[in-house]
A and B are shown apart, each in its own frame.
Chain A
Amino acid sequence: MSTFVGQGVPRVDGVAKVTGAARYLDDLDLPGAWHGVTVRSTIAHGTFDGLDLDPGFDWSRVTVVTADRFTWGPGRAGGGLGSNHVALIEDDQPALVPPGGTIRHVAEPLALIAAPTRALALAARAAARPRQTARPPVLTIDDALRAEVKLRGDDNVFKSFLIRKGHADDDELDVAMASAARIVEGTYETGAQEQMYIEPQAMAAWLEAGVVKVVGSMQCPYYVHKAMKALLGCAGDDVVIAQTVTGGGFGGKEEYPSMLAAHCVLLTRAAGVPIKMIYDRAEDIAATTKRHPARVHHRLGLRADGSIAAIDVEVIMDGGAYLTLSPVVLSRGVLHAAGPYRCDVVRIRGRVVATNHPPHGAFRGFGAPQTTFAYERQIDKAARLSGADPWTYRDRHALRLGDTTATGQRLESSVGTDEVVQAIRAAAGDPPERLGVNAHGAPVRRGRGLAFYFHGAGFTGSGEQRLAGRASVAARADGRFDVLASSTDIGQGATTIFTQIAATALGVPVDRVRVADPSTDEVPDSGPTVASRTCMVVGGLVERAARRVRERLAAGEDPAGVVETVQYEPPPGIQWDDATYTGSAYPCYGWAGCLVDVEVDLDTREVTLLRCVHAVDVGKAINPVIVTGQIEGGTVQALGWALLEHIVYKDGRVANANMTNCIVPTFADVPELETIIVECPYPYGPSGAKGVGEIPMDGPAAAVANALEDALGVPFDRIPVLPEDISRALG
């Protein structure tokens, strides 16, 4: 039997994308559609007192709505709408701040305007002026913790977690830490990061035979579906959500599309015409979610032999103005905060606080990159202090089969430590010459940095069981097969790998398999396209469904009508306790190592990346070309986060909301990437595959900072490390 698993099958959407034939939201013909724009707050905290409309503007040609235009509560059946919230974990974020309501950040939507042309909509927006009363804002983590201005409860804390391993209370933790021969202690700060998908947020909505239809650029059609049901107060069949070809997501199109969909739906209801809304880059950067800024205080208690006696971590993240996904981001952050190292006594405390920044949200890695930066700086310092080679130190203390994580999870399978350690060692070669002169004649210093890390694949704890994701495979009379899943292809190749998995399980050529476009009226809810779960979890469902279809056809059934839908079943041995945060935090982990060589120009303080080697254990590469692209894309986002990507908040507003000043790496900023795929199969993933999407984002930033310390002899504990930071550090 032929297998397509493990083959670099060309992307099924490749030709459409290289010829320009692929149709993104802005490329669609939407006859009669009006353009929607958003009137936003201009203060970080205060009250929306009402909207003034310039009498000199002809308002008869446009539709303007504020929240009080609608009847909230009775739902669709009662002739009104449901709830003025963007439903997610908690219903705290309004779709539109109502007149008289509280403004909690500088980009709050206050009103919506639709017009036949975008130019007219923008002219109307310029003639609409919100009246606002400002109150003192909370703009830093420290201000939030002081709680002089209260945004959330008495303490401004959205969510906190406590993980304890090997000790009963704080006194026992103190005893363990006091028994250590040495303590390595540091505070690590990481900045907000913009996803910078090249297609901005884009959505359209209209009414079609009594059904509200929403199409657009998104990761999670069923998240938008849930949010629109709540907004409209309607049944599931009354609203259909369909993904269009999506120009990148990286987490940025996980929760925010529900907001944009809400705005399109409200405008189409008010204006009675189809509405499309496409953000320009400035609005996209100013208003949509970014990676949570974080501050991590990390203590390692070392024994005389260098082994780790105790780990104590405190994680604080800036959640921004609304809860959104912050508790889950924090959860992943704390669950990774001790790192993949053996230690019997671990305390991890985490808090995410409310501020008056626009909400921070999902971004590839989802909390883990922030805590990985901290622990891999710490481990590097521990190695230095112990006089050990930094890679040997990691090798000696890293988790292996049979070891337990911070939550007491015993690692039973698919631990790639040895293979990753060996892969990096084999590729490393000699470190760069420490001193030299560059092409401009400037003196340079060079150094090498390393990092080792892990990333839990799939939803946390019992999350996958609660999600109960489903996927279907259907045989068609013409000998073709359809894969039906709500997983979206946002560039990561989901459509292609599902095709490979299904074709292999069915025993047919790949061109006989079609993956249906994700639309909520056609595909089952497979769960969201997040958390490195699409290949491992949903791919596993596709494989099981395809096998069942094959069995039925082999038994002689008529293909027409053969459909198999399967639901997630947890692998054996998975136990998780949400109350104590103990047990199997994730069904399995990816493992990775990164080596970075840097060169610092001592005249300009510019950093050049000389080498970047990245070895990632993915279980099994269903498509090695696509996996390589996933690893390399994540690597470069992480390198950018370390050295270039700097969101500058000023008075709660992003001061550099444009691509000229909010920069991301170009072709010329990154070295030739040396990517090594490591395969330690996960027994319950399709052909052994586990997650790959996020882990490449976790570690390279620490490797860069470690390399800078190696080169310059001074620590860098805050990213991005900009030339001015290097100047200050060198004195």
Chain B
Amino acid sequence: MADSIQLTVNGDVYALTASPWKRLLDALREDLRLTGTKEGCGEGECGACTVLLDGVPVNSCLVAVGQCGGRAVTTVEGLARRADGETILHAVQRELVARGGAQCGICTPGIAVCAAHVIDAGRLAAGAAARPQARELLAGNICRCTGYQLIVDAVVAAAGATGGAKR
């Protein structure tokens, strides 16, 4: 049975008519045509489908859209902002490009979303502790291309650039 579900995605309010059991991942990709969020495994292991639900990272393949009524979702499409007609990338997006943290790119949206949360929530300490902390906090996102080193470089650099606080 289809329900009417109202949720906010990247600041825009949407009213969906969908089965409440539909995966949030599918609602985003099929109903809203926000295809930046990727499916890598469908079982919550790879993290490619990571989005923020009320500011907390979740695997959108494991969340039913019926759980999202009245809540706010942030996808990779919502990380950058528009200002004066220009797209301003989130600091971690800029650093991922600059430091080679994206290769094939299929895991990158999930990593960018999770890393942006880690940075914006001020969860990375300054100094040497930042790198192991970043590894722990991002361990739910699998990348098969990079060996992770350049991603950690990008996350730590972005946290440093933003003072570990809001962009």
Assuming the A-B contacts A17-B108, A629-B147, A633-B146, are A198 and B100 also in contact, with contact meaning beta carbons closer than 8 angstroms in the complex? Answer: no
CB-based contact A668/B104 at 8 Å = no
Do B96 and A14 touch across chains, with their CB atoms under 8 A apart?
A: yes
Min C-beta distance of A628 to chain B, whole Å: 7
If A198-B143, A632-B146, A667-B135 touch, whether A492 touches B89 (CB-CB below 8 Å) is no
Tell me whether A18 and B48 are in contact in the complex, defined as CB-CB below 8 angstroms, given that A629-B103, A633-B144 are known contacts. no
- 8 A Cβ contacts from B14-50 to A: 29, 34-43, 45-46, 48
A280 interfacial by beta-carbon distance below 8 Å: yes
B138 touches A281 (CB 8 A): no
Given contacts A23-B35, A198-B38, A667-B139, contact A247 B104 (CB under 8 A): yes
Contacts known (A199-B38, A672-B149); A11 close to B43, Cβ less than 8 A: no
| Interface pair B147/A673, CB less than 8 Å apart | yes
Q: How far is the CA of A637 from the CA of B135 in the complex (A)?
A: 17
Asked if residues B37 and A629 are in contact (CB atoms below 8 Å), the reply is: no
- Select the residue from B46, B76, B144, B152 with max chain A CB neighbours within 10 A: B144
CB distance from A629 to the nearest CB of B (A): 5
Partner of A281, one of B43, B104, B140, B143: B43
Decide yes or no: A11 and B139 within 8 Å by CB, A27-B35, A659-B45 being known contacts.
no
Is A562's CB within 8 Å of the partner chain B?
no
- CB neighbours (8 Å) of A673 from chain B are 147, 149
- The yes or no answer to A296 lying at the interface (CB within 8 A) is no
- Complex interface bits, A196-238 against B, C-beta within 8 A gives 1, otherwise 0: 1111100000000000000000000000000000000000000
Minimal Cβ-Cβ distance residue in B for A194: B144
User: Knowing A245-B105, A492-B103, A667-B135 touch, does A15 contact B38 (C-beta < 8 A)?
Assistant: no
Q: Which residues of A contact B96 (CB under 8 A)?
A: 14, 18
Known: A10-B98, A14-B97, A667-B135. A493 touches B103 (CB 8 A): yes
Most buried by A among B97, B112, B147: B147
| Chain A interface, number of residues (Cβ within 8 angstroms) | 58
| A361 contacts B by Cβ under 8 Å | no
Tell me if A594 counts as interface (CB < 8 A to partner B).
Answer: no
Interface residues of B in 47-61 (CB under 8 A from A): 48
- Over the window 70-111 of chain B, the binary record of Cβ atoms lying under 8 Å from chain A Cβ atoms (1 yes, 0 no) is 000001110110000001010001001111101111111100
Q: Does A248 count as interface, using CB distance less than 8 angstroms?
A: yes
- Interface digits, B105-138 against A, CB 8 Å rule (1 contact, 0 not)? 1111100100000000000000000010011101
Bound CA–CA A19/B34 (angstroms): 11
* In contact, A625 and B142 (Cβ under 8 angstroms): no
Task: Encode A662-676 as 1/0 by CB contact (under 8 A) with B.
Answer: 001111101011010
B76 touches A19 (CB 8 A): yes
On chain B, the residues within 8 Å of A659 by CB distance are 40-41, 43, 45-46, 142
User: Is residue A546 within 8 Å, beta carbon to beta carbon, of the partner chain?
Assistant: no
Q: Are B147 and A635 in contact (CB-based, < 8 A)? A: yes
**Known A21-B36, A659-B45: A633·B135 in contact at CB below 8 Å:** no
Contacts of A15 in B (CB 8 A): 89, 93, 97
What is the CA–CA distance of A8 and B135 in the complex, to the nearest angstrom?
Answer: 24
A658 at interface, CB cutoff 8 A: yes
Q: What distance in Å separates the Cβ of B5 from its nearest Cβ neighbour in chain A?
A: 19
Task: Say whether A13 faces chain B, with CB atoms less than 8 Å apart.
Answer: yes
The smallest C-beta distance from A19 to any residue of chain B, in angstroms, reads 6
Indicate if B161 sits at the interface (CB-CB under 8 A). no
Whether B89 and A625, one on each chain, are in contact in the complex, defined by CB atoms closer than 8 angstroms, is no
Name the residue in A23, A636, A666 with the highest tally of chain B Cβ atoms < 10 Å from its Cβ: A666
Structural contact, B103 and A667, CB atoms closer than 8 A: no
Residues of chain B contacted by A8 (CB below 8 angstroms) = 100
- Is B150 in contact with chain A by the CB < 8 A criterion? yes
Query: Taking the complex as formed, is A250 at the interface, i.e. its CB lies under 8 A from any CB of chain B?
Result: yes
Contact yes or no, B93 A281, CB < 8 A? no
Residue-by-residue, is A275-307 near B (CB-CB < 8 Å gives 1, otherwise 0)?
000001100000000000000000000000000
Picked from B89, B140, B150, B151, the residue with its CB within 8 Å of the CB of A19 is: B89
Which chain A positions have C-beta within 8 A of B136? Answer: 667-668
Contact A11 B150 (CB under 8 A): no
Once the chains bind, are A633 and B103 in contact (CB under 8 Å)? yes
Whether a CB of chain A sits under 8 angstroms from the CB of B145 is yes
Chain A residues 1 to 53 lying within 8 A of chain B, measured CB to CB, are 8, 10-11, 13-24, 26-27
A198 and B139 contacting across the interface, CB-CB below 8 Å: no
Nearest residue in A to B140 (C-beta to C-beta)? A666
Q: Tell whether, in the assembled complex, residue B76 and residue A248 are in contact, meaning their CB atoms are under 8 Å apart.
A: no
Point out the residues of chain A lying under 8 angstroms from B46, CB to CB: 198, 659
State how many angstroms separate the Cβ of B82 from the closest Cβ of chain A: 12
Contacts of A404 in B (CB 8 A): none
A667 to B147, CA, bound (A): 8
- A14 and B101 alpha carbons, distance in the complex (Å): 9
Distance of A542 Cα from B48 Cα, bound (Å)? 34
- A8 to B101: give the CA distance in the assembly, Å: 12
Bound Cα distance from A19 to B90, whole angstroms = 9
Q: A17-B108, A672-B149 are in contact. Are A198 and B36 (CB under 8 A)?
A: no
Query: Which residues of A606-653 are within 8 A (CB) of B?
Result: 625-626, 628-629, 631-637
A-B contact pairs, 6 of them (CB 8 A): A247-B105, A490-B104, A493-B103, A634-B147, A658-B43, A664-B142
B binding-site residues for A, Cβ under 8 Å: 29, 34-43, 45-46, 48, 75-77, 79-80, 87, 89, 93, 96-100, 102-109, 112, 131, 134-136, 138-152
Closest 4 CB pairs of A and B: A20-B36, A491-B104, A247-B106, A17-B105
**Chain A interfacial positions (CB closer than 8 Å to B):** 8, 10-11, 13-24, 26-27, 195-200, 245-250, 280-281, 490-493, 625-626, 628-629, 631-637, 658-660, 664-668, 670, 672-673, 675
19 A-B pairs besides A24-B38, A198-B144 with CB distance below 8 A are A18-B96, A18-B109, A19-B36, A19-B87, A20-B34, A20-B35, A20-B75, A20-B77, A26-B29, A27-B35, A196-B144, A198-B40, A198-B106, A247-B107, A250-B144, A632-B147, A636-B146, A664-B142, A672-B131
